[in-house]
């Protein structure tokens, strides 16, 4: 897991890089040069205007969007001691870029063998990539609207809600939406040029697969997609606060402060139910028993209709008690939102559970106060920290990447 590879600073000394800075003007010069080159090579007027519009969209993104998605760079300060801000370069985004570059390069190679030009492939790529990105983001926003974007829109207002929708750097691209949006864009481009859609798709299929292979590696680096628990030599463990870690706590696969719990689907409010209590833990001394439901933890009610799972809320609250920073992306949504893995995890039996690799240290003892719907209260204090890592799981996205690469070779 390597979510952030590096940060591009917002400014270098006193020279702004993002916004209407150096990067913007370099793009303008490059775009003007490309448009002039295309015009001299007798590009169709419609295609030329399409290219100009797309280049203008990119310029607007550099000037208006990139400065808004900058974050503070951890541990880096300016001469006045203020935290420096920068654009985070995510592992997922880097792999996505490599996937796009590989797919376009392969498309150019295959198109030349069919008598098509590089210019035709470039325009087709823009018609596929931009609608694909829009579709990927739209699918994520619709999927997580009840959990994150809808409540934010109501509480913080339309401006904050719209900025959250546009803030792709904080996560939220769904592969299904990208396929739908990309296919629609390719279909429109094909229709405008009066070409056979199936022939174009036949040309693009291996290109899609090689892009998918890189994209799945990006999912692995982001740490949001993972397989079931296993004991294989190539199994991987994710760090504390990762999606796999949170999911395993939420679904009763790991002890946290002496208890295992999971959402009870039979309960009217789907409150989390205690599955097991470590007999040697302070939780057992406090008297909490398996089968009891948890309604309140340290004054925070787990019921309600916010759309978030009560078990998920409990997991996040318990982790927050440790004082360790835990980042839970918007709506607990994965950057790529491949879907499915959360609900497919089954609770391990006592004999099947695997030991975790140690615990994180705690600066001060943690106090847990739990209330049940029946009014029972349990308080205990523990100096034992959280598990340092998740249980070992299948690197499912690496499997998917390998499969896509093999399929690409077969259909070339």
Query: Which stretches of 69-117 are DSSP H helices?
Result: 91-112
| Overall average pLDDT of the 191-201 stretch | 89
Instruction: Average the pLDDT over 10-25 and give the result.
Output: 85
- Those residues with Cβ within 8 angstroms of residue 6's Cβ, 6 or more apart along the chain or in another chain: 89
**What CA–CA distance (Å, rounded) separates 102 from 218?**
14
pLDDT value of position 359: 61
If pLDDT is split at 50, 70 and 90, which confidence band does 225 have? Answer: confident
Q: What is the pLDDT of residue 106?
A: 94
- The Cα 194–Cα 213 span in angstroms is 31
DSSP string, 238-269: PBTTSHHHHHHHHTTSS-BTTEEEEE-TTSTT
Tell me the helices (H) and strands (E) count for the chain, helix number first.
12, 11
* pLDDT tens, position by position, 277-334: 999 899 999 999 999 999 999 888 887 655 568 888 888 888 887 765 443 333 333 4
pLDDT digits (tens, 9 = 90+) for 103-146: 999 999 999 998 888 888 888 988 988 898 898 888 888 888 87
CA atoms within 13 A on the CB side of 120: 17
- Check pLDDT > 60 for residue 335: no
Question: Does residue 338 carry a pLDDT above 60?
Answer: no
| Among the listed residues 60, 82, 58, the one whose alpha carbon sits nearest the alpha carbon of residue 10 | 82
pLDDT above 90 for 96: no
pLDDT at 361: 55
> Which CATH number does the domain 243-393 belong to among 2.60.120.620, 1.10.260.40, 1.10.8.60, 2.30.42.10?
2.30.42.10
Provide the pLDDT for residue 377: 93
Residue with tokens 């759309």: 307
So what's the pLDDT on residue 170?
65
Locate tokens 């100009």: which residue?
A: 52
| Whole-number pLDDT of residue 173 | 77
Q: What is the pLDDT of residue 67?
A: 85
- Ranges of each domain in the chain: 91-223+402-411, 243-393
As a whole number, mean pLDDT of residues 190-216 equals 90
CB-CB contact of 27 with 59 (8 Å): yes
Instruction: Say how many CA atoms lie within 13 Å of 198 toward its Cβ.
Output: 0
User: What pLDDT was estimated at residue 103?
Assistant: 92
Residue 391 pLDDT: 92
Contact residues for 90 (Cβ-Cβ < 8 A; gap 6+):
3, 4, 5, 169, 221, 222, 335
- What would the 3-class secondary structure string for 148-175 be? HHHHHHHHHCHHHHHHHHHCHHHCCCCH
Higher pLDDT, 252 or 169: 252
pLDDT greater at residue 289 or residue 340: 289
From the list 273, 327, 299, the residue with the least C-alpha distance to 71 is 327
**Residue 409, both tokens:** 């070779």
Mean residue pLDDT across the chain: 82
Q: Name the percent of the chain lying above pLDDT 90.
A: 28
Phi then psi for residue 15, to 5 deg, are: -95, 115
Closest-CA residue to 362 (of 384, 341, 333): 384
What pLDDT shows up at residue 360?
A: 58
Determine the 3-state secondary structure of 232 from DSSP: coil
3-state DSSP percent of the chain in helix, strand and coil, to 5: 50, 15, 35
Residue 297 half-sphere exposure toward CB, CA atoms < 13 A: 25
Q: Are 397 and 409 in contact (CB under 8 A)?
A: no
Q: Are strands 11-12 and 83-90 parallel, antiparallel or unpaired?
A: unpaired
Cα distance between residue 391 and residue 303, in whole Å: 28
- Phi and psi torsions of 402, nearest 5°: -65, -45
- Between CA 166 and CA 149 the distance in angstroms is 11
Which residues are registered as beta bridge partners of 229? 393
Residue 20 has pLDDT above 60, yes or no: yes
Percent share of the chain, pLDDT over 70: 87
pLDDT value of position 363:
52
pTM: 0.72
Residue 208 vs residue 343, higher pLDDT: 208
The rounded distance, in Å, linking the Cα atoms of 66 and 344 is 36
pLDDT in tens, 357-410: 466 555 568 889 999 998 899 999 888 878 888 899 999 999 999 999 999 999
* pLDDT for residue 227 is more than 70: yes
Location of structure tokens 């097991």 = 276
What is the pLDDT, as a whole number, of residue 41?
74
Asked if 331 contacts 147 with a C-beta cutoff of 8 angstroms, the reply is: yes
Q: What is the pLDDT of residue 169?
A: 61
CA distance 182 to 190: 12
pLDDT single digits (tens) 55-87:
888 899 888 888 888 888 877 777 777 788 888
For residue 304, what pLDDT is reported? Answer: 64
How do strand 83-90 and strand 71-77 relate by DSSP bridges? antiparallel
Please name the helix (run of DSSP H) or strand (run of DSSP E) that holds residue 76, with its range, or none.
strand 71-77
């Amino acid at each position: 897991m390597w979510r952030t590879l590096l940060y591009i600073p917002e400014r270098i000394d006193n020279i702004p890089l993002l916004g209407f800075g150096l990067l913007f003007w370099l793009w303008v010069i490059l775009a003007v040069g490309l448009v002039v080159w295309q015009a001299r090579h007798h590009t169709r007027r419609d295609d030329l205007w399409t290219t100009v519009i797309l280049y203008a969209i990119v310029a607007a993104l550099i000037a208006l969007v990139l400065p808004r998605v900058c974050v503070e760079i951890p541990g880096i300060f300016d001469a006045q001691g203020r935290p420096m801000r920068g654009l985070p370069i995510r592992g997922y985004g880097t792999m996505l870029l490599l996937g796009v570059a590989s797919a376009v390069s392969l498309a150019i190679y295959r198109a030349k063998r069919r008598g098509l030009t590089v210019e035709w492939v470039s325009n087709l790529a823009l018609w596929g990539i931009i609608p694909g990105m829009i579709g990927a983001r739209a699918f994520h926003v619709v999927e997580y609207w009840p959990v994150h974007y809808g409540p934010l829109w109501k509480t913080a207002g339309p401006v904050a809600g719209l900025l959250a929708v546009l803030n792709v750097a904080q996560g939220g691209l769904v592969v299904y939406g990208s396929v739908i949006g990309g296919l629609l864009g390719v279909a429109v481009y094909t229709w405008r040029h009066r070409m056979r859609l199936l022939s174009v798709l036949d040309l693009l299929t291996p290109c899609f697969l090689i892009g998918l292979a890189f994209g799945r590696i990006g999912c692995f680096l982001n740490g949001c997609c993972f397989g079931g628990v296993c004991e294989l030599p190539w199994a991987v463990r994710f760090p504390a606060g990762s999606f796999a870690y949170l999911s395993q706590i939420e679904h009763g696969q790991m002890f946290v402060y002496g208890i295992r719990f999971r959402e009870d689907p039979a309960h009217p409010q789907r409150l989390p139910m205690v599955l097991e209590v470590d007999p040697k833990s302070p939780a057992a001394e406090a008297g909490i028993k398996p089968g009891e439901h948890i309604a309140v933890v340290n004054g925070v009610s787990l019921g309600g209709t916010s759309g978030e799972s009560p078990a998920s809320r409990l997991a996040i609250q318990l982790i927050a008690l440790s004082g360790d920073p835990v980042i839970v992306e918007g709506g607990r949504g994965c950057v790529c939102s491949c879907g499915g893995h959360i609900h497919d995890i089954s609770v391990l039996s006592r004999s099947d559970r695997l030991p975790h690799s140690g615990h994180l240290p705690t600066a001060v003892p943690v106090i847990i106060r739990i209330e049940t719907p029946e009014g029972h209260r349990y308080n205990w204090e523990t100096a034992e920290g959280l598990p340092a890592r998740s249980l070992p799981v299948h690197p499912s996205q690496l499997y998917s990447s390998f499969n896509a690469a093999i399929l690409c070779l077969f259909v070339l």
